[in-house]
Structure 1
Amino acid sequence: MDWNSFWEGSKDLSTFALAIRAIILYIALIIATRLMGHRQVGILSGHNYLVAAGIVSLAAIRMLNPESSLTSGIVIVFVYAFVNIFLSYLDIKWPKTIDRKPTILMKDGIIHRKNMLDCHVTIDNLLGQLRLKGAHNLSEIDTIVLEPYGKISVIKKPEALPLTRKQMNLPPKMVALPTILIYDGKIDEKNLHAIGLDHEWLMTKLREKGIANPKDIFLAMLESDGTVYISI
């Protein structure tokens, strides 16, 4: 294999060489994404979006064009990553300088038309976002805020909020994350012991469902309300 052509590109590259180039570039993208952290995955700001779009475009060109330089592609990927990390650091230190600020679209039940025009948000856009939030009636909403990452936050009026357990003088409900007990026929011993349960308890629950062997179960989870979910 001509290694110079492999790294710098050539129209005569074999299919095998193209596949290896794609794998190397993919690994570089994974490493760069890990370096940029969770913030990049969520695309929480304008520069995060630009970096993501730039890297995707760059990767597509390098993977499809055998004459493109793999070396320069990898260099650019990591330059993008470190520039994004630097901008994210500045964003944490001086958020109002680097990134956009939240914009109030409604306050005290009144829509701020000027802010909507400044943000290029139409009524249809706004109503669609509200439906996704489960807020269907504008008369029930006190405040709407357009966040820097493009989503909206909704604060309903007090009279439109559902009653809480505290308001009804009920004892607080225990909140816990669902826990995997069995996956692909294997009991998760670590999770079982972490929540203070044992095999006898688990087998009793399985027998109640008419199941004798844990190996017959694809997924079993203990949900937050104490329900045992089982999928065979």
Structure 2
Amino acid sequence: MDWKSFMEGGKHLSIFALSLRAIILYIALIIATRMMGHRQVGIISGHNYLVAAGIVSLAAIRMINPESSLTAGLIIVFAYAGVNILLSYFDIKWPNVIDRKPVILMKDGILLKRSLFDSHVTLDNLLGQLRLKGAHNLSEIDTVVLEPYGKISVIKKLEALPLTRKQMNLPPKPVALPTILIYNGKIDENNLHQMGLDSTWLKKKLGEKGITDSKDVFLAMLEANGTVYISV
């Protein structure tokens, strides 16, 4: 293999060389994304979005065009990542300088027309976002905020909020993540023991569902309220 053509590009690269270049670029993208951390994955600011779009476009061009320089592509990918990390640091230190501020679109149940115009949010856009939040009636909403990352936060009026267990004088329900006991027919012994349970208890629970062999179970989970969810 001609390594100079491989790195700098050439018209007659083999399928193996093209595949290897694509793999190298893909691994570089993974490393760069890991370097940038969760902020990049969540795309929670404008510069995060630009970096993501730029890196993906750059990598796609290098993967498709055999005459493009792989070396230059790798340099630009990590340069993009470095600039994004720097901007993210500045964003934490001086958020009002680097990124946008949240914009209040509704306050005390009144739509702020100037804020809607300045943010380029149409009424259809706003109503669609509110429906996704489960807020179908404007009369039930107290405050609407357009967050810097483009999402909308909704605060409903007190009379429109659902009753809580505390308001109904009911005991609180335990809140915890469900624990996987069986996945794809295999019992997770560590999770079972951490919950203070054993295989006898699990077999009893499976027997209540008419299941005699754990290998027939695709997924079994112990939920916070003590319910065992079983899917075969």
TM-score band, normalised by shorter chain: over 0.9
Percent identity for Structure 1 against Structure 2: 79
In structure 2, give the amino acid aligned to 1:106: M
- 1:63 alignment partner in structure 2: 63
- 2:44 alignment partner in structure 1: 44
- 1:166 alignment partner in structure 2: 166
CA distance in 2, matches of 1:196, 1:88: 44
Aligned-residue RMSD, C-alpha: 0.9
What are structure 1's unaligned runs of at least 5 residues?
A: none
In structure 2, give the amino acid aligned to 1:148: P
- 1:201 alignment partner in structure 2: 201
Deviation of 1:44 after TM superposition, in Å, equals: 0.2
CA distance in 2, matches of 1:89, 1:193: 43
| Number of positions where the alignment pairs a residue of Structure 1 with one of Structure 2 | 232
- 1:88 alignment partner in structure 2: 88
Deviation of 1:189 after TM superposition, in Å, equals: 1.4
Give secondary structure in 2 for the equivalent of 1:212: coil
- 2:177 alignment partner in structure 1: 177
Q: Deviations over 1:107-146 (max 9, x none)?
A: 0000001111111000000000000000000000000000
Q: Decide which moves more: 189-198 or 134-143.
A: 189-198
What are structure 2's unaligned runs of at least 5 residues?
A: none
Deviation of 1:223 after TM superposition, in Å, equals: 2.1
In structure 2, give the amino acid aligned to 1:105: L
Give secondary structure in 2 for the equivalent of 1:211: coil
Give secondary structure in 1 for the equivalent of 2:215: helix
Question: Within 5 A, what are the aligned runs for 1:1-232?
Answer: 1-232=1-232
CA distance in 2, matches of 1:191, 1:131: 39
Deviation of 1:225 after TM superposition, in Å, equals: 2.7
Q: TM-score, normalised by structure 1?
A: 0.98
Q: Deviations over 1:146-177 (max 9, x none)?
A: 00000000000000001111111111111111
CA distance in 2, matches of 1:194, 1:128: 44
Deviation of 1:48 after TM superposition, in Å, equals: 0.3
In structure 1, give the amino acid aligned to 2:137: N
Deviation of 1:23 after TM superposition, in Å, equals: 0.5
Give secondary structure in 2 for the equivalent of 1:104: strand
In structure 2, give the amino acid aligned to 1:135: A
Give secondary structure in 2 for the equivalent of 1:20: helix
Q: TM-score, normalised by structure 2?
A: 0.98
Deviation of 1:226 after TM superposition, in Å, equals: 2.2
